[in-house]
Structure 1
Amino acid sequence: MSTAYDTSRIEWARQEEIAERMIPLIGRLYRSGGVVTNILGRRIINRSPAEILQAHRFTRETGDEVLDPEKTFAMLGALERVAVGPASIDVARLVREFDADGGAWGEPELAGFLREKLASSDAAPAAAPTDVVLYGFGRIGRLVARLLIAHQGSGQGLRLRAIVVRRGSDDDLLKRAELLRRDSVHGPFAGTIEVDEQEQTILANGTLIRVIYANDPAAVDYTAYDIHDAIVVDNTGRWRDEEGLGQHLAAPGVSRVLLTAPGKGAIKNIVFGVNSEQLEPSDAIVSAASCTTNAITPVLAAVDEAYGVVRGHVETVHSFTNDQNLIDNFHPGSRRGRAASLNMVITETGAAKAVAKALPQLAGRLTGSAIRVPTPNVSLAILNLELGRDVTRDEINAYLRQTALTSPLRQQIDYSENPDAVSSDFVGTNRAGVVDGLATLAAGDDRVILYVWYDNEFGYSAQVLRVLERMAGVHPAILPERRPVRAEAVLV
């Protein structure tokens, strides 16, 4: 006689078998057509069957039932038969919309639905490959490298060709490879890494990366390594203005520069999803702003659009970084000389002012401060805002939740109502910021306090990659198309 235990185990095995059959479909869509499949923003490329099923259960966050794996498998098969072109496709949205239309789950019906649904899409044709050079290979540099390698697909998009560093020891190359292979916060590299000391290269999952040693950006001739028209990603933070970063442009083989820190002067500070439309092909030097700016600007943009932000204060509780001392010692900055692993340290942040570079309407309306705390990664921004109209906690939470799921900002904003969530739960999130709905404070007047978690390393690196893709013209279209969320449409 079958017991409840047996029934549950049999059902899990059935779903796991379906997920296993999805994997080759997902891989072919990505490697052959540049189609990035996801379930409500959760990528299902290079995932195990259990991880794919876990993503299916996330659909409960929308108020729907758990996504049926059999329907996902059928939709993936139909996508393979319908030419789409490079795009980021939310399979869950397609399944829900097909069900809403009352369609029968057959091949002809699915094909007709997809042709109609995706016919007017702005899926871009495959672009020519773009060479990428990482100048500096620290925390952000190595995570951007991991992302570039993971996103290599058919090799027709961004191609990581080289990293440039200053030689630190006789076995520098081996040490760099090991830092890429193992990370105390983000875990091991997903794949294989081989080192060729004679050729000075690192081979990571088939991506051959040249390691170049140099002290001067302009001293490197990239064309000698068959690197041409490259985008240099400067991860050092050593130069932040046009004069300093312009040194990269003097190097043969370089056409553009992306800074992974706030830029100064006339340099465009891009928060992807908010002001990325400002990017022009003629922009030779661009900044991806800071991790905190990327975390709070999308949320502020959404809140300002729906309610209006009159003024506010941003308090950042930020993990310690490499520019602080591990133990008390001399430091040119105030307070940062005190032991980072033992103290909370009040420090300055320019994130509140930097928001205005992406959202000019908020210029002069925000103040900001920061506290460095003894955790290695994941930070928390507390937005204390005065709005243009009254709002309740349930109303603004419903709005932000829907914004995270279905709006054009769904790649930047995530939403959580996990009652046991702590900072380490957000390690590895690829969103710029995650609104903690259970922490929201609003009493029905014009004041609201929002708590936004963010992986200040990986989440920011994901935003850097998106800017890179836009600069290279290879950022995939997001399908089905997202429409702006109106607050009054989600009132509870």
Structure 2
Amino acid sequence: MQQQAHEHLQQWTGREAQAEQMIPLIGRLYRENNVVTSIHGRKLVNQSAIDILKAHRFARQVDETELPISETLPLVEALTQMELGAASIDIARLNYGFRHSQESDLHEYLRQELSDIAGRRGEGLAEPQDVVLYGFGRIGRLLARILVGRASSASGLRLRAIVVRKGAENDLAKRASLLRRDSVHGPFAGSIRVDTENQAIIANGTYIQVIHASDPSDIDYTAYGINDAVVVDNTGRWRDEEGLGQHLKSPGVSRVLLTAPGKGDIKNIVFGVNHDDVTSADRILSAASCTTNAITPVAKLMQDAYGIDHGHVETVHSYTNDQNL
């Protein structure tokens, strides 16, 4: 029994050591090649050794067997030597393909599978798209976390500013504190500093200008070096084309996204369901409601597979700006 316990501990520490070896390789692929690595949708970038091992364990939910880190470590090492262009790579799928292929040389297999991006370092990068968060409530802060977390990736989205109403003298510090701590999602993954003199928040190196305004017509975004920006209105103050169209009159704005159900002719989009309805001519779009985003993907699968005659949906979430606390 004692021998068995010792062997289990040795095996664990060995896997942990391999996960620790993988961390800088994953980081290098992300920063230098804009390659985002994942295991069946679970990203590996900025994860701890334990999180990486948990992702390998999760693979059994898909492949019916735990993904051996002894196999993925040499795979990731090989990826770092290929001068890859920007991409999102599922190492579980690559490893599965290699194990079930006729190719015995891992490097040769990867060259064949990744021929479109091999040797193309620096290619495939989109011009950064400026993003402005109009409003900095719960949704705004969660969006800020996501955008800051992907600032170095090939997503092409760059958070440039947030727009809020003028508050008390310590308003900037309070907003930074709310970004830093969330009772559900936990602490912010990184460092947040406040530049009081220039009215800005610096989160993990992302410089976020804080603009004080009570109306879109008061703002000239180009004065802050912001151009062709997507304004994400998460205030819920306007939901129709006339109201949201005010943002388009502000210099430096090209499109508007509403984080609430839109009214009138505004398209309500749920990614994965009807995102193909979006055209280049659409300048105002809605991301639909929280309930819609929660139920629609599941409802679509059920409708496609079995058909739905009628249904009833119950939703439970935090209070919103149109409810009393």
Q: TM-score, normalised by structure 2?
A: 0.92
CA distance in 1, matches of 2:32, 2:280: 27
Question: 2:89 aligned with 1:89, yes or no?
Answer: yes
Task: Kindly state the Cα deviation for residue 320 of structure 1 after the two structures are TM-superposed.
Answer: 3.4
CA distance in 2, matches of 1:186, 1:105: 43
* Cα pair 2:35 2:153 within 8 Å, conserved: no
Q: Which amino acid aligns with 1:313?
A: G
- Within 5 Å, give how 1:413-452 maps onto structure 2: none
Partner residue, 1:41 = 41
CA distance in 2, matches of 1:317, 1:229: 36
* Cα pair 1:196 1:202 within 8 Å, conserved: yes
Task: Kindly state the Cα deviation for residue 83 of structure 1 after the two structures are TM-superposed.
Answer: 5.0
Partner residue, 1:414 = none
Task: Kindly state the Cα deviation for residue 105 of structure 1 after the two structures are TM-superposed.
Answer: 5.2
CA distance in 2, matches of 1:155, 1:110: 21
Task: Kindly state the Cα deviation for residue 102 of structure 1 after the two structures are TM-superposed.
Answer: 4.3
Deviations 1:181-223 (A, max 9, x none): 1111111111111101111010100000000110011210111
Question: 2:312 aligned with 1:314, yes or no?
Answer: yes
Q: Which amino acid aligns with 1:198?
A: E
CA distance in 1, matches of 2:135, 2:258: 11
Task: Kindly state the Cα deviation for residue 168 of structure 1 after the two structures are TM-superposed.
Answer: 2.5
Partner residue, 1:65 = 65
Q: Measured at CA, do residues 83 and 312 of structure 1 come closer, stay the same or move farther in structure 2, by a change above 3 Å?
A: farther
Q: Which amino acid aligns with 1:67?
A: L
Task: Kindly state the Cα deviation for residue 151 of structure 1 after the two structures are TM-superposed.
Answer: 0.4
CA distance in 1, matches of 2:128, 2:92: 30
Task: Kindly state the Cα deviation for residue 68 of structure 1 after the two structures are TM-superposed.
Answer: 0.7
What RMSD in Å do the two structures reach over aligned CA positions? 2.0
Q: Measured at CA, do residues 270 and 84 of structure 1 come closer, stay the same or move farther in structure 2, by a change above 3 Å?
A: farther
CA distance in 1, matches of 2:155, 2:66: 35
* Cα pair 1:258 1:288 within 8 Å, conserved: yes
CA distance in 1, matches of 2:210, 2:82: 41
Task: Kindly state the Cα deviation for residue 156 of structure 1 after the two structures are TM-superposed.
Answer: 7.4
- Within 5 Å, give how 1:379-398 maps onto structure 2: none
* Cα pair 2:129 2:158 within 8 Å, conserved: yes
Partner residue, 2:178 = 179
Question: 2:32 aligned with 1:53, yes or no?
Answer: no
CA distance in 2, matches of 1:2, 1:111: 46
CA distance in 2, matches of 1:166, 1:307: 49
Q: For 1:245, what is the secondary structure of its paired residue?
A: helix
Partner residue, 2:133 = 134
Counting matched residue pairs gives 320
Partner residue, 1:74 = 74
Q: Which amino acid aligns with 1:133?
A: V
Partner residue, 1:365 = none
CA distance in 2, matches of 1:67, 1:225: 48
CA distance in 2, matches of 1:266, 1:253: 24
Task: Kindly state the Cα deviation for residue 152 of structure 1 after the two structures are TM-superposed.
Answer: 0.7
Question: 2:275 aligned with 1:273, yes or no?
Answer: no
Question: 2:151 aligned with 1:168, yes or no?
Answer: no
- Within 5 Å, give how 1:19-30 maps onto structure 2: 19-30=19-30
CA distance in 1, matches of 2:29, 2:37: 8
Q: Which amino acid aligns with 1:7?
A: E
Task: Kindly state the Cα deviation for residue 62 of structure 1 after the two structures are TM-superposed.
Answer: 2.0
CA distance in 1, matches of 2:231, 2:157: 12
Task: Kindly state the Cα deviation for residue 258 of structure 1 after the two structures are TM-superposed.
Answer: 0.5
Task: Kindly state the Cα deviation for residue 88 of structure 1 after the two structures are TM-superposed.
Answer: 2.3
Q: Which amino acid aligns with 1:26?
A: I
Q: Mean alpha-carbon deviation: is it higher for 55-64 or for 137-146? A: 55-64
Task: Kindly state the Cα deviation for residue 111 of structure 1 after the two structures are TM-superposed.
Answer: 2.8
Partner residue, 2:284 = 285
Q: Measured at CA, do residues 156 and 37 of structure 1 come closer, stay the same or move farther in structure 2, by a change above 3 Å?
A: closer
Question: 2:223 aligned with 1:224, yes or no?
Answer: yes
Q: Which amino acid aligns with 1:232?
A: V
Deviations 1:222-274 (A, max 9, x none): 11111111100000011011100000011111111010011111111110111
* Cα pair 2:194 2:200 within 8 Å, conserved: yes
Q: For 1:115, what is the secondary structure of its paired residue?
A: coil
Deviations 1:133-161 (A, max 9, x none): 00000111000000000001158721111
Q: Which amino acid aligns with 1:279?
A: V
Partner residue, 1:419 = none
CA distance in 1, matches of 2:161, 2:285: 20
Gaps of 5+ in 1: 327-492
Deviations 1:356-412 (A, max 9, x none): xxxxxxxxxxxxxxxxxxxxxxxxxxxxxxxxxxxxxxxxxxxxxxxxxxxxxxxxx
Percent identity, aligned pairs only, is: 56
Deviations 1:415-460 (A, max 9, x none): xxxxxxxxxxxxxxxxxxxxxxxxxxxxxxxxxxxxxxxxxxxxxx
CA distance in 1, matches of 2:163, 2:314: 32
Partner residue, 1:150 = 149
CA distance in 2, matches of 1:268, 1:75: 43
CA distance in 2, matches of 1:39, 1:187: 23
Q: TM-score, normalised by structure 1?
A: 0.62
